[in-house]
Amino acid sequence: MEAFRKLRDQVARQQQAVLKQFGGGAFGCSENSALDEAELQQNHKLEKLYASTRSTKHFQRDIVRSLEGYIVTGSKQVEIGNKLAEDSRKYGAENTCTSGNTLTKAAFSIAKARTQMVKEQEHLLRVYGTQVAEPLRAMILGAPLEDARHLTQRYVRMRQEAEAQAIEVSRRRTKAKEAPGNIDNTSRLEAAETKLEDLKSNMKVLGKEAGAAMLAVEVQQQRQTLQRLITMVEAERTYHQRILQILEQLEGEMVLEHQRVEASPNQAPPMPMESHMPPPPSYEEVNGIPSFAIDESIDSMEYFLGEVTFSFQAESDVELSLSVGDYVVVRKVSGTGWAEGECRGKAGWFPLGCVERRIECSQERFLEFNLIIFVSCIEKD
């Protein structure tokens, strides 16, 4: 029994020494292992594939976790954006300011823009969740990766078993040399060698199967992960482009309204001393039967082309609406501050202070000016 115990301890020490030569990793091996050159290459290939797919899996997990945090934060921003839009809309609907409605318009513009931006952000978050995070999560937990990893782990266990069996064969050969005529030692050596060959044959088949599975997974990981990243970048780029468009439109509306308000003291044309401008001249006044004094020197002026510098909104059928930048042919000027002319194919009365004189003309050039105004209106539209 003592001799048997010593032999067992010696064999254990030999096994430990051989295993140390194989390296500490799961795929470690040495020149003294049971693997030939082709099997060594297969082993190294599997080792690299296993490390690559594991690294990509961790990267995918990091992307998913980051997007999950981004979606949570973005959902909170959506709530805040909806609240701001609702508050702006509420103020615009309930504002009772008597000095103007400029702030009301601004509030409605912000409410509209904020609602559009919130919708764009919600779309971006949906893309992050359904088109990026979910496919990556499915790959992380999917069967192809797990099956390939299980095959690789089986291969590693079988390789370790083959290494142990190779040690056993080496020990049997030593005993057979020490006792050449011992039939029992010879039969045990043959059995050990047969088992080692079977293990190596099965290991070779399993190694090829595991290598093919791991390679397929690696290719799928690389392609799909890159595609998900491209989808994420494209979605974010589109989101920022749409937000920029919305903000530019909002800024344009608010700046235009601000400029209008800043120019409001000069917007109204010069008025007479009375608190309200008198109505346009009557028929009698226009035809030389005035009921009050008319400045004949003004009334007898030649036609002239005027540019509208202050807008005017007609309040009756005899008045003519004007927009800043329009050109109008002024045909008659009344001493009460009104002028009669034609613009955009319509004629009527308007405050003389709304226009600035540009070109004087005779009545004969009236048609020519009308043509100029027509062309100008087409270009403006």
261, 277, 296 - which closes a domain:
261
pLDDT at 244: 95
Verify that 217 and 83 share a domain, yes or no: yes
Verify that 339 and 236 share a domain, yes or no: no
pLDDT at 14: 52
Lowest mean pLDDT among 34-48, 78-92, 267-281: 267-281
Verify that 82 and 207 share a domain, yes or no: yes
Asked if residue 122 belongs to a domain, the reply is yes
Asked if residue 309 belongs to a domain, the reply is yes
Domain limits at 363?
304-379
Sheet holding 346-351, edge to edge: 346-351, 338-343, 327-333, 303-308, 355-361
Average pLDDT, rounded, for the chain: 79
Alpha-carbon distances of 230 from 119, 125, 306, 320, rounded to whole Å? 22, 15, 58, 58
Query: 222: domain CATH number?
Result: 1.20.1270.60
Verify that 168 and 250 share a domain, yes or no: yes
Verify that 141 and 195 share a domain, yes or no: yes
- The neighbour count for residue 309, using CB atoms within 10 Å, is 16
Query: 323: domain CATH number?
Result: 2.30.30.40
The label of the residue with tokens 């036609």 reads: 303
Q: For residue range 139-161, what is the model confidence (pLDDT) as tens digits? A: 999 989 899 989 989 988 988 89
Long-range CB pairs of 112-116 (<8 Å, 24+ gap) are 112/85, 113/246, 113/247, 113/249, 113/250, 114/81, 114/82, 114/84, 114/85, 114/88, 115/82, 115/85, 116/242, 116/246
Asked if residue 146 belongs to a domain, the reply is yes
Residues in Cβ contact with 272 at an 8 Å cutoff, skipping those fewer than 6 apart: 278, 336, 337
Verify that 232 and 335 share a domain, yes or no: no
- Contact between 21 and 35 under an 8 Å Cβ cutoff? The reply is no
Q: For residue range 269-278, what is the model confidence (pLDDT) as tens digits? A: 444 433 345 5
List the one residue out of 365, 381, 378, 328 whose CA is nearest residue 350.
328
Sign of CA dihedral 121, 126, 127, 132: positive
- Contact between 60 and 136 under an 8 Å Cβ cutoff? The reply is yes
Verify that 241 and 308 share a domain, yes or no: no
261, 284, 315 - which closes a domain:
261
Asked if residue 271 belongs to a domain, the reply is no
- The neighbour count for residue 151, using CB atoms within 10 Å, is 19
Verify that 152 and 68 share a domain, yes or no: yes
Percent of the chain past pLDDT 70, that is, above it, reads 75
List the one residue out of 261, 251, 282 whose CA is nearest residue 100.
261
CA quadruple 180, 183, 186, 188: dihedral, nearest 10? -140
Asked if residue 319 belongs to a domain, the reply is yes
Asked if residue 86 belongs to a domain, the reply is yes
Q: Which residues are bridge partners to 346 per DSSP? A: 343
Q: Is 50 exceeded by the pLDDT of residue 266?
A: no
pLDDT at 20: 45
Verify that 311 and 226 share a domain, yes or no: no
Sign of CA dihedral 55, 61, 65, 71: positive
Verify that 240 and 330 share a domain, yes or no: no
- Structural tokens at position 127: 């893309």
Asked if residue 15 belongs to a domain, the reply is no
Verify that 163 and 308 share a domain, yes or no: no
pLDDT at 225: 96
Amino acid at 178: E
pTM assigned to the model = 0.57
pLDDT at 18: 39
Best-predicted range by mean pLDDT among 18-22, 128-132, 303-307, 339-343? 128-132
How many domains is the chain built from?
Answer: 2
The label of the residue with tokens 């979910």 reads: 134
Verify that 367 and 235 share a domain, yes or no: no
228, 261, 294 - which closes a domain:
261
- Contact between 206 and 99 under an 8 Å Cβ cutoff? The reply is no
- Structural tokens at position 82: 């909806």
- Contact between 118 and 39 under an 8 Å Cβ cutoff? The reply is no
Asked if residue 295 belongs to a domain, the reply is no
